[in-house]
A = this chain, B = another copy of it.
C-alpha cells in the first residue's frame, strides 16, 4: 500500500526513494533500537551508545513518524513519557537492517562475533520471523546485545 509522494523526488527508483527517507547516519539506528533492542523512549535512544544529540533525535523521530515508519504514543501510566513503536512499514525494514548487519560484520572489524553473525546469515528467515514475532506481540526482549563499544564487549 504505497504512501503519497511527500515532496519532489530525485527519481522514481525505489532505492533512491528509500534512501531519501533512510539515507542518513541516524534513522536506521533508531529503527535498530526499536527493532532489536526493544527501546521505546527518547531517553533510551539517547543513551543508545552512539551519542546522538537531542535535537537531531527529535528531528529524526518526527521525520520517521511523518514517513509512517514509527508511531508516537503518550504513555498511559506516566504522561511525561512517549512510547515510540514501529509500524508495519517500519518492521518491514528488518531485512534491510539484517543485511546491513551481516555485511558490516563480515567486512569490518566490529564488536559482533563472526560466529554469531554467520549463524544469523544461515538462518535469515528465522531471525526475521522472530523479530516480527516480538514486534507483533509487543515483546521488548532484545533480540541482540549491544555489540562491543570501544574495544571490549561492554557497550
Binding site for B on A (CB under 8 A): 1-5, 10-26, 28-29, 32, 49-51, 68, 89, 92-93, 95-112, 117, 146-151, 155
Contact = CB atoms under 8 A, between A and B. Distances in A.
A91 B125 CA distance: 22
A56 to B, nearest CB: 13
Residue from A17, A26, A95 with most neighbouring chain B CB atoms (10 Å):
A17
B104 A17 contact: yes
A13 B107 CA distance: 13
Given A92-B106, A107-B1, A19 B11 contact: no
- The 3 A-B residue pairs whose C-beta atoms are closest, nearest first, are A12-B111, A12-B148, A14-B104
A14 B147 contact: yes
Given A2-B107, A2-B110, A19-B29, A14 B100 contact: yes
